[in-house]
């Protein structure tokens, strides 16, 4: 037994669920991690990833000092040397070719750090590049775009009111493994079981019988990429049977008639042969959604990373609006986070895309960024504006972006690359300089992103658990020093100069005199909280280690609407045009075998495979194949199969299972840790294969630029 000196509480930073952790600390080590039973939101829930929080921080492969590449080898250097190398690498490119020649890629953990929430935007501004890419275009960009058109703001994303709904229809989400996304709900599985316990139901639509599907009242298989047809079938039925009832929203919605016209061609009979959901069930779902006292439709990865991702994301909300379930308790609602200001009233500039276009493929800008699916084009294609240098912050696009074999080769040809990342991995091995931030136990935590997506309003701040490693650097300081370098203020400038400038600006905007807090991020948070919706302060959150409950979600329409009309614009022209493209796709031939992904509870995208406790046991990186397909293709369980697509080819181990529907195979993403030049010992022993070798960078959801990562046409033969 280890003697425990003290207990600390903090929010788990590993996924969107934002669980409270209870940390038992002995000296300078984390002796145990449990769920915090007194946490206002998670009530003691924890998953296996959260339980390894200490192992992740203590990982011997984790970088604690910067690395620079010399003669092809990464070697440790001092921080000053590292920043001097960044200045020597970046400044000549910026001066010679302009900021445009530097591309940036922001990975998923940026939404899990305070530095990402506060310092990335100023960094991009200082760079002045339009070549901004992020994990958003392999993830949720379609939802931002559909909400942008519907409500005027891409950040106005309604979440299912899980704790009060009577009927939940879930498409392309597997919260039993993922713990939820675009719906922060610690213990998502418990909240789903509670729906059933109070007499409600939940239905899962998924090409795979997932753990979530097993617990559901009903699981419907669907052909990958066809949810838009299913949802239009539901919309068609709602109109055809007179089941639409917008309720309180009636005076705030425009475009209902246009929608009815668009839905005409999508009768259940017209779409059933495409999505493989029986016409009678499509009609049934429409009736059940309309009849339920309250209902919520919720879609996630499987509805976003597909060819009609924006249209599908839009239709999810359209059904919620038409059944009167938007913005009412038990339906889908808009959270209001403590760092967000309450707005004065409805109306705004609205939402547009395409303020600029990508140089090579002419793809429209969306929310200030370009599709990561075209990053390799911008690096490889010569000419004015070519990307020559690359900055990654918390990203591993070599494993997470489509056609990543091509991207991997493109990165090898850059003039200069710098990564802010704690690991030497598949992506950062290409970096000339790697800048590792302090680990999570040594930094404060506040969820700028996920508290604005929580199914109940609450706030929590966690101070660092351990003092900062004296030879380490906080991520805010790293990003501040990069800002000073790219804006020509010198690698030697004290980052405090920038922190002070940012704080002064924030105080001025908020009309405040001073801010509390030990670090630069904390002081900015204090300003945001004090001008935020509940008038809280950092001190209030410090006094509440288990979080502050701010109550169930409240109706926010019309105040939340930012459309020029001040209304919900149900049928924005870009969506109506896209619906015409979907109508044309009614006549497409059915594709053959298609590939989808999947997630496992003990994995987190690409970067947690170096934790022994999370990778032990049977390999999870298998190609799931239905028995009928395995027979037809003479594939056997446990043997290798060669999988090929337009983009690439790989050999994967087959797992024969009727969990996938016939005609669909599934391979998880984030694996493929056998590339040379990396330093992740445990991950390399459990390498797996990179499914994004197979996904195609040329196929995107046109409205959002999002990659298509599900429904990839593939051919398979025994290897
Ligand atoms: N085929 C397929 N591909 C997918 C998906 C899929 O479903 N199927 N899912 C997509 C989705 S939803 C996402 S979000 C993306 C994720 O894509 P990425 O964000 O590109 O990849 P991650 O695997 O999350 O890698 C995170 C990186 O951040 C580093 N890191 C961890 N913590 C910190 C920190 O505190 N600070 C810094 N600076 N770095 C840190 C890790 O070492 C790692 O290098 O993958 C996408 N790719
Ligand atoms: N354990 C774990 N948790 C995670 C992550 C992780 O990697 N591991 N990643 C985190 C991140 S970054 C994110 S974005 C979230 C994602 O959270 P979720 O969206 O819940 O993630 P998935 O488990 O990938 O669930 C997507 C489901 O969509 C199904 N699907 C695929 N194609 C289609 C389709 O065309 N239609 C329909 N209806 N379904 C389809 C898949 O079979 C899968 O079950 O998870 C987060 N949490
Ligand atoms: S569900 Fe997510 S937030 Fe909760 S413990 Fe697991 S990884 Fe951490
Ligand atoms: Mo994601």
Give the pLDDT confidence of 467-494 residue by residue, as tens digits.
999 999 999 999 999 999 999 999 999 9
SS (H, E, C) 336-361: CCCCCCCCCCCCCCCCCCCCCECCCC
Question: Which two three-digit tokens encode residue 526?
Answer: 């204090």
User: For a substitution probing ligand 3, which of 10, 17, 454 has the most ligand atoms within 8 Å of its CB?
Assistant: 17
Give the pLDDT confidence of 270-316 residue by residue, as tens digits.
999 999 999 999 999 999 999 999 999 999 999 999 999 999 999 99
- 575, 631: one domain: no
Give the pLDDT confidence of 130-180 residue by residue, as tens digits.
999 999 999 999 999 999 999 999 999 999 999 999 999 999 999 999 999
Write down the pLDDT at residue 3.
Answer: 81
- 68, 50: one domain: no
Classify residue 4 by its DSSP letter.
Answer: P
Write down the pLDDT at residue 106.
Answer: 98
Write down the pLDDT at residue 4.
Answer: 84
Task: State which ligand 1 atom lies nearest to the alpha carbon of 440.
Answer: 35
d(CA 660, CA 594): 11
- 390, 289: one domain: no
d(CA 628, CA 516): 63
Query: In 52-89, which positions are buried (b, 16+ CB within 10 angstroms) versus exposed (e)?
Result: bbbbbbebebbbebbbbbeeeebeebebeebbbbbbeb
- 310, 418: one domain: no
- 244, 148: one domain: yes
- 566, 599: one domain: no
Task: State which ligand 2 atom lies nearest to the alpha carbon of 300.
Answer: 19
Task: State which ligand 2 atom lies nearest to the alpha carbon of 223.
Answer: 35
| 3-class secondary-structure state, position 134 | strand
d(CA 671, CA 687): 6
CB atoms within 10 A of CB 470: 5
Average pLDDT on 547-567 reads 97
Task: Tell me, using a 6 A CB cutoff, whether residue 567 lines ligand 3.
Answer: no
Write down the pLDDT at residue 344.
Answer: 81
Determine if residue 490 is left, alpha or beta; phi over 0 gives left, psi from -120 to 50 gives alpha, anything else beta: left
Domain harbouring 627, CATH code: 2.40.40.20
Average pLDDT on 506-524 reads 97
Question: Which two three-digit tokens encode residue 530?
Answer: 């004090």
How far apart, in Å, do the first and last CA atoms of the chain sit?
50
**Which residue's CA is the nearest one to ligand 2's atom 30?**
302
List of residues 6+ apart from 497 with CB closer than 8 A? 484, 489
| 178 belongs to a structural domain | yes
- 437, 380: one domain: yes
Of 400, 427, 430, 404, nearest to 417 by C-alpha is 430
Name the helix (H) or strand (E) containing 287: helix 279-291
Cα 197 to ligand 2 centre (Å): 25
Residue 317 has pLDDT above 80, yes or no: yes
Question: Which two three-digit tokens encode residue 434?
Answer: 């790697």
**Ligand 2 pocket, Cβ-based, cut-off 6 angstroms:** 15-16, 108, 139, 171-175, 177-179, 181, 205-208, 210, 222, 224-225, 227, 300-302, 306, 596-601, 603-605, 710-711
CB atoms within 10 A of CB 672: 23
Ligand having the closest approach to the CA of 611 = 1
Distances (CA, A) of 703 to 145, 579, 585: 7, 11, 16
Write down the pLDDT at residue 677.
Answer: 97
Average pLDDT on 622-643 reads 98
If one compares 546 and 344, the residue with the highest pLDDT of the two is: 546
**pLDDT above 90 covers what percent of the chain?**
98
d(CA 468, CA 440): 10
* Whether 172 contacts 315, CB under 8 Å: no
Name the helix (H) or strand (E) containing 160: strand 159-160
Average pLDDT on 55-77 reads 96
- 145, 289: one domain: yes
d(CA 409, CA 419): 17
Of 292, 167, 277, 195, nearest to 231 by C-alpha is 277
Write down the pLDDT at residue 345.
Answer: 84
- 490, 538: one domain: yes
Rounded to the nearest angstrom, the gap between the alpha carbon of residue 457 and the centroid of all alpha carbons in its chain is: 20
For the whole model, what pTM was predicted? 0.98
42, 58, 74 — which closes off a domain? 58
How high does pLDDT run on average in the chain?
97
**Ligand 1 pocket, Cβ-based, cut-off 6 angstroms:** 107-109, 113, 135, 138-139, 301, 393-397, 400, 420-423, 425, 437, 475, 597, 605-607, 669-670, 691-692, 695, 709
Confidence of residue 54 (pLDDT cuts 50, 70, 90): very high
Give the pLDDT confidence of 213-267 residue by residue, as tens digits.
999 999 999 999 999 999 999 999 999 999 999 999 999 999 999 999 999 999 9
- 214, 264: one domain: yes
Domain harbouring 18, CATH code: 3.30.200.210
d(CA 580, CA 489): 51
- 34, 83: one domain: no
Cα 179 to ligand 2 centre (Å): 10
* Whether 132 contacts 395, CB under 8 Å: no
Domain harbouring 163, CATH code: 3.40.228.10
Domain harbouring 510, CATH code: 3.40.50.740
d(CA 420, CA 393): 5
Residue 346 has pLDDT above 90, yes or no: no
Task: State which ligand 2 atom lies nearest to the alpha carbon of 669.
Answer: 7
550, 574, 607 — which closes off a domain? 550
Write out the residue range of the structural domain in which residue 52 sits.
1-58
**pLDDT above 70 covers what percent of the chain?**
100
| 134 belongs to a structural domain | no
Task: State which ligand 2 atom lies nearest to the alpha carbon of 49.
Answer: 1
d(CA 542, CA 47): 25
Cα 345 to ligand 2 centre (Å): 35
List of residues 6+ apart from 626 with CB closer than 8 A? 656, 657, 658, 660, 661, 662, 663, 664, 665
Give the pLDDT confidence of 3-43 residue by residue, as tens digits.
889 999 999 999 999 999 999 999 989 999 999 999 999 99
Average pLDDT on 547-558 reads 98
Beta-bridge mates of residue 433: 68, 418
d(CA 12, CA 73): 34
Beta-bridge mates of residue 171: 205, 299
**Which residue's CA is the nearest one to ligand 2's atom 35?**
224
Write down the pLDDT at residue 1.
Answer: 54
Give the pLDDT confidence of 91-122 residue by residue, as tens digits.
999 999 999 999 999 999 999 999 999 999 99
Classify residue 394 by its DSSP letter.
Answer: S
Average pLDDT on 379-404 reads 98
Of 433, 518, 444, nearest to 475 by C-alpha is 444
Q: H helices of 29-78, where?
A: 48-51, 53-58
User: For a substitution probing ligand 2, which of 106, 134, 143, 302 has the most ligand atoms within 8 Å of its CB?
Assistant: 302
Of 203, 13, 1, 2, nearest to 607 by C-alpha is 13
| 135 belongs to a structural domain | no
Radius of gyration of the chain (CA): 25
């Amino acid at each position: 037994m280890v003697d425990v000196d003290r207990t600390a509480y903090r929010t788990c930073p590993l996924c969107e669920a934002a669980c409270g952790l209870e940390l038992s600390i002995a000296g300078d080590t984390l002796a145990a991690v449990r769920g915090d039973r007194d946490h206002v939101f998670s009530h003691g829930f924890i998953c296996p990833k959260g339980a390894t929080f200490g192992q992740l921080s203590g990982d011997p492969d984790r970088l604690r000092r910067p690395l620079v590449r010399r003669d092809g080898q990464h070697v440790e250097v001092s921080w000053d040397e590292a920043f001097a190398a960044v200045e020597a690498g970046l400044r000549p490119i910026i001066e010679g070719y302009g900021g445009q020649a530097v591309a940036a890629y922001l990975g998923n953990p940026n939404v899990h750090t305070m530095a990402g929430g506060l310092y990335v935007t100023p960094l991009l501004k200082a760079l002045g590049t339009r070549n901004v890419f992020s994990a958003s275009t392999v993830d949720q960009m379609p939802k931002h775009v559909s909400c942008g058109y519907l409500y005027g703001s891409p950040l106005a994303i309604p979440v299912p009111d899980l704790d009060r709904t009577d009927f939940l229809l879930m498409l392309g989400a597997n919260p039993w493994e993922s713990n939820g996304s675009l719906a922060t709900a610690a213990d998502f599985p418990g909240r789903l079981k509670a729906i059933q316990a109070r007499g409600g139901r939940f239905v899962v639509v998924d090409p795979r019988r997932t753990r979530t599907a097993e617990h559901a009242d009903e699981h419907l298989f669907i052909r990958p990429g066809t949810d838009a047809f299913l949802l239009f079938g539901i919309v068609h039925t709602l109109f055809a049977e007179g089941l639409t009832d917008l309720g309180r929203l009636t005076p705030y919605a425009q475009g209902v008639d246009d929608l009815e016209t668009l839905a005409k061609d999508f009768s259940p009979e017209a779409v059933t042969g495409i999505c493989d959901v029986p016409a009678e069930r499509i009609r049934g779902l429409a009736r059940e959604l309309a009849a339920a006292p309250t209902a919520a439709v919720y879609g996630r990865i499987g509805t976003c990373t597909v060819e009609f991702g924006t249209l599908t994301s839009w239709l999810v909300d359209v059904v919620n609006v038409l059944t009167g379930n938007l913005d009412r308790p038990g339906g889908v609602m808009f959270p209001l986070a403590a760092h967000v200001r309450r707005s004065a009233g409805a109306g705004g500039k609205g939402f547009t895309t395409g303020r600029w276009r990508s140089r090579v493929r002419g793809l429209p800008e969306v929310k200030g960024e370009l599709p990561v699916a075209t990053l390799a084009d911008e690096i490889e294609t010569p000419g004015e504006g070519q990307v020559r240098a690359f900055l990654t912050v918390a990203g591993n696009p070599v494993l997470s972006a489509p056609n990543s074999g091509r991207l991997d080769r493109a990165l090898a040809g850059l003039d200069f690359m710098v990564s802010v990342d704690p690991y030497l991995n598949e992506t950062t091995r290409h970096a000339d300089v790697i800048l590792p931030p302090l680990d999570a136990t040594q930094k404060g935590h506040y969820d700028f992103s996920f508290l604005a997506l929580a199914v109940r309003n609450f706030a929590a701040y966690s101070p660092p658990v351990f003092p900062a490693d004296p030879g380490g650097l906080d991520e805010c300081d790293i990003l501040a020093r990069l800002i000073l370098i790219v804006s020509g203020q010198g690698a030697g400038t004290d980052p405090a100069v920038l922190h002070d400038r940012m704080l002064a600006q924030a105080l001025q905007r908020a009309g405040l005199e001073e801010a509390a807090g030990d670090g630069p991020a904390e002081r900015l948070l204090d300003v945001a909280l004090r001008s935020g919706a509940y008038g809280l302060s950092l001190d209030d959150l410090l006094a509440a280690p288990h979080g502050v409950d701010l109550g169930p979600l409240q109706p926010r329409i019309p105040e939340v609407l930012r459309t020029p009309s001040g209304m919900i614009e149900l049928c924005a022209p870009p969506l109506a045009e896209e619906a015409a493209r979907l109508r044309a796709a009614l006549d497409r031939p059915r594709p053959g075998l298609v590939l989808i992904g999947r997630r496992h509870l003990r994995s987190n995208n690409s970067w947690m495979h170096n934790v022994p406790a999370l990778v032990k046991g049977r390999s999870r990186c298998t190609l799931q194949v239905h028995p009928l397909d395995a027979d037809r293709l003479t594939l056997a369980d446990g043997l290798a199969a060669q999988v090929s697509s337009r983009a690439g080819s790989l050999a994967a181990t087959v797992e024969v299972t009727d969990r996938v529907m016939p005609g669909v195979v599934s391979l998880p993403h984030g694996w493929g840790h056998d590339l040379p030049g990396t330093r992740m010992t445990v991950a390399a022993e459990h390498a797996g294969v990179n499914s994004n070798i197979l996904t195609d960078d040329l196929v995107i959801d046109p409205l959002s630029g999002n990659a298509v990562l599900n429904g990839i046409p593939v051919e398979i033969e025994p290897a």
